[in-house]
Amino acid sequence: MQHFQLFIDGAFCEGATGQTMTTQNPATGQDWATFACASAQDVDRAVGAAKRALEDPAWRGLSQTARGKLLYKLADLIEVNAEHLGRIETTDSGKLLAETATQTRYVGDYYRYYAGLADKIEGAVLPIDKPDMHVFTRREPIGVVAAVVPWNAQMFLTATKLGPALAAGCTVVLKASEVAPAPMLEFARLIAEAGFPAGVVSVITGDAEGCAIPLTRHPDVDRIAFTGGPETARHVIRNSAENFAVTSLELGGKSPIIVFEDADLDGAANGLIAGNFGASGQSCVAGSRGLIHRPILKALIERIAEKAAGIVVGDPLDGATHIGPLCTKAQVVKIGDTLAKAQSQGATIHFGGAPLVRDGNYMAPTLVECAGPDTETLKVEMFGPVMSLLPFDTEEEAIALANHSDFGLGSGVFTRDLARAHRVSGRLRSGICWVNTYRAISPIAPFGGFNQSGYGREAGAEAVLDYTRTKTVWINTSEQPMANPFVMR
């Protein structure tokens, strides 16, 4: 089996306790690799190295343009190694190689985007209301960043944190999920090859007690960028009370896709399939609440079933496969329990509905017609290829149903009516709204949620500023000494 080490202070190493964990190939159910686990001692070493690197001339002394050049080099290395990293991610998580390699290649554009912004971080001269005072602001790195990423889109979610943090001049301790961490530990080799000074980026993984908790509550961490589930996020927020770290949260979702009767049915069916079966449903923006105008419900179900009949479920390394295995066996069990409860509530399963009998964590793509808005599949984030549809009769009802959720990450609207598209998208309580498309991303477009889908935004130009603090500088330009503070004028 392969073995992956931690990357701390510019060197690969085992954890201080010698603890290792084993990761399985979801396509076969067999162990395929081991990885070192970080302890509190390793976390302290990584954070200490990041704090030292902040003041080291090797990093602190670089011009903003020079930092950008390092990010450009990292982007080039990612593109060259996209197939290699994608194959490791596929073996470790079960995601399709076609997706992991393509997504990794595209991630290079995120680093290029932030490379270009590195020397665009500017201050301002203030038109101050005091005579003989020159006052200006400057943006300085916020400090040591704890970046915590999940397994399901780790190269992308790392780029949305690491790119702006490094462009701003911060240092980063990247904590990969203990589920399928291999690609992130391999990615550390590119950090070293790109020429980032030791300590600027460390990559660690491990369980909550040994790694995540000591990292997010460490007194020298200044900023936490977390992607994961709401329950874990609550612990992160509590931990941040120990260090007052500025925190952003990108959490889960139960995103609605509204299809109106004037929509193009082929486009809407493709949008629902992309939003639910793409990435095997293992996406935080999965459009798992399909809200369908009642007059077209039957026709749309038939269209989806026809398209789904051609979906190939199989080996994620095979280019002919459309849906691979789920990352963990626990997901398969959770989906089965959720579907059983939905059926007891009157839901109808039109196709799928059961695990596939084969090695690995395979779940058949599933379409559920729900009996009401409180059907279990409309409430639980299952992280699997399950599409739930619910009819509506009016635009107002569609908006109310869409907003009937604790989450608010993504949303979709399918309609040919431009006025309706603007009207409805403006009322949906979500951080992202796609109209007549779904799951599109870009380094230029901010990404984040409302409600229990978190706060803060990733990607976009403003994300760089979230990794800075504003300093205000006052300079007395008068030749006269400072006035007596006790003489009021």
Structure tokens given for 333: 């069990």
Instruction: Judge whether 177 and 151 are in contact, CB under 8 Å.
Output: yes
Q: Which entry of 89, 99, 250, 381 is annotated as an active-site residue?
A: 250
Angle at 340 between CA 339 and CA 346, to 5 degrees: 90
Under 8 Å between Cβ of 223 and 162: no
Q: Which two tokens stand for residue 17?
A: 């306790």
- Cβ contacts of 374 within 8 Å, gap of 6 or more: 345
What is the distance in angstroms between the CA of the first residue and the CA of the last residue of the chain? 78
Q: Facing residues of 202 across strands?
A: 173
For 33, phi then psi, to 5°, come to -155, 160
- Alpha helix ranges (H) inside 317-465: 329-344, 395-402, 418-425, 462-465
For residues 364 and 384, the answer to whether their CB atoms sit within 8 Å is no
Alpha helices in 241-352 (DSSP H): 265-277, 297-308, 329-344
**Sequence-distant (≥ 6) Cβ neighbours of residue 154 within 8 angstroms:** 89, 176, 177, 180, 183, 184
Q: Are 333 and 370 in contact (CB under 8 A)?
A: no
250 catalytic? Reply is yes
What residues are annotated to the active site? Answer: 250
